[in-house]
Amino acid sequence: MLSFVPSKDTETIAIEFEGTATREDAAKIDKIIQDKFADKGKFNIYAIINDVQDSTFTGFGESMQVNMEAWNQFHKFAVISSTHLTDQLAEMEKLLPKLKVKHFEMDEMNKAWEWIQE
């Protein structure tokens, strides 16, 4: 399940996940990208991921393939999780070669914000 959390940066969508990301979750993020970032160029995502499941990024992969033009504006992806998501993050980097992805532990949330804002 997806929920939006307060963002510390105007170019960053801040989200929190429990379990698996769905196509509907990706559609919500897609709408925000279209509404807020279509004219601005780049955007970032700060994602806190709890209770990760193997298919967490399935909905995002599908959304990216459908709306690649918008997702090509995706600049940085800070993933905050107690679980390393090496395979999923590598897949995202393959879909979006210009994307900068970095994993942070749960106690490194401030570090993640600092990295996003660099």
pLDDT value, residue 112: 97
- Say which residues have a Cβ less than 8 Å from residue 36's Cβ, sequence separation at least 6: 43
pLDDT in the model for residue 2: 83
**Which CATH architecture best describes the domain 2-111?**
2-Layer Sandwich (3.30)
**Confidence at residue 8, expressed as pLDDT on a 0 to 100 scale:** 94
Question: Is the dihedral angle over the CA atoms 68, 34, 55, 75 positive or is it negative?
Answer: positive
Looking at residue 86, its pLDDT comes to 74
Residue ranges of the chain whose pLDDT lies below 70: 52-71
pTM metric for this prediction: 0.83
> Residue 77 and residue 46: Cα distance in Å, rounded?
6
Q: Could you tell me the residue ranges of all domains in the chain?
A: 2-111
